[in-house]
């Protein structure tokens, strides 16, 4: 069903949709641009090397992320017209892709933390238990909340602008919000564990020789910098998703 309106009361909603679409398109461009810049290094350092589970996870996330970014940009660009059926299918696919990719990133995070904690079995068991608890809960909530019968896509034509809106039935937005909140809790835990072990190692380096301490310090500095950047990116996306699920921005 298509809803058409020229009511000025929708202008704030239109502005919000445009703002969100600008960010989504920008991130999609960055993903593709990064792939173009690094494809040579990727072939040399990854494709031509011995493959492992981390290789498969990395390539999976990388090559799922590119089409995901493109489709997400199309779905969230107000000037692109999509039918209700297509909008529903794309929304369903994008949300389940979020669940799968977040789980894959979680496995990579466990491997990083396990290495940072020098192969501690206790830490590995702790991380796996928390990871499974969070992801099982997320899959259950996503399975309940992302059913096509509970989320109905609708094409809106507001002041001549085409956009997709989703009517969330039976308070499923709460379940979807909980998925993002649970994943955010996991990421906060991972960040805290990374910072704690890094600080501990920086203190221990004072008792090591200059060369050894310098090498270890550089390794942990790179790990922490990449982890903080990743966490900041995830936190930004999570806040955006939670805000987009707020009743103030949902079309009912």
Measure the CA–CA gap between 28 and 22, rounded to whole angstroms. 10
In tens, the pLDDT along 20-77 reads 778 778 878 888 888 889 888 888 888 888 888 888 998 998 888 888 888 887 777 7
d(CA 97, CA 112): 23
pLDDT of residue 134: 92
Is residue 170 within 8 Å of residue 150, measured between CB atoms?
yes
| Contact assessment for residue 242 and residue 184, using Cβ atoms and an 8 Å cutoff | no
DSSP 76-122: T-TTS---HHHHHHHHHHHHHHHHHHHHHHHHHHHHHHHHHTTT-HH
Q: What is the C-alpha to C-alpha distance for residues 134 and 137, in angstroms, rounded to an integer? A: 5
Q: Calculate the dihedral angle through the C-alpha atoms of 223, 101, 231, 114, rounding to the nearest 10 degrees.
A: -40
pLDDT, residue 147, reads 57
pLDDT at position 28 is 80
CA 153 to CA 167: how far, in whole Å? 6
Residue 43: burial class (beta carbons within 10 Å; 0-12, 13-18, 19+) = exposed
Element (H or E) spanning 206, and its range?
none
The residues spanned by each domain of the chain are 2-183
* For the chain, counts of helices (H) and of strands (E): 6, 3
Distance CA 134, CA 188 (A): 13
Give 102-145 pLDDT, tens digit per residue: 899 889 889 888 888 888 899 999 999 999 999 999 888 877 76
Sort residue 170 into left (φ over 0), alpha (ψ -120 to 50) or beta: left
Query: In terms of pTM, does the model score above 0.85?
Result: no
Contact 129, 141 (CB under 8 A): no
Q: What is the pLDDT of residues 165-193, one digit of tens each?
A: 666 655 666 777 788 888 888 888 888 88
CA distances from 29 to 32, 69, 77, 192, 235 (A): 5, 8, 14, 31, 20
**Residues 218-238: tens digit of each pLDDT:** 666 776 777 677 777 777 777
The pLDDT value given to residue 130 = 95
């Amino acid at each position: 069903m298509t809803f058409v309106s020229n009511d000025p009361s929708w202008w704030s909603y239109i502005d919000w949709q445009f703002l969100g679409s600008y960010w989504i398109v920008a991130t999609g461009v960055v993903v593709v641009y990064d792939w173009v810049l690094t494809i040579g290094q990727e072939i040399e350092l990854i494709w031509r090397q011995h493959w492992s589970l981390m290789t498969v996870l990395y390539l999976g996330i990388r090559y799922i992320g590119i089409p995901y970014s493109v489709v997400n940009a199309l779905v969230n660009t107000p000037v692109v017209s999509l039918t209700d059926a297509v909008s529903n299918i794309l929304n369903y696919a994008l949300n389940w892709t979020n669940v799968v990719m977040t789980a894959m990133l979680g496995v990579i995070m466990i491997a990083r933390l396990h290495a940072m904690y020098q192969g501690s079995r206790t830490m590995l068991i702790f991380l796996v238990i928390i990871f499974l608890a969070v992801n099982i809960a997320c899959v259950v909530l996503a399975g309940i909340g992302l059913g096509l019968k509970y989320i109905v896509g609708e094409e809106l034509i507001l002041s001549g602008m085409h956009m997709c809106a989703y009517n969330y039935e039976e308070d499923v937005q709460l379940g979807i919000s909980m998925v993002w909140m649970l994943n955010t809790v996991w990421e906060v835990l991972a960040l805290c564990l990374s910072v704690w072990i890094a600080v501990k190692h920086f203190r221990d380096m004072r008792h090591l020789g200059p060369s050894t301490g310098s090498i270890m310090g550089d390794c942990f500095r790179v790990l922490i910098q990449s982890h903080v950047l990743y966490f900041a990116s995830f936190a930004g996306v999570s806040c955006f998703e939670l805000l987009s699920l707020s009743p103030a921005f949902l079309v009912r």
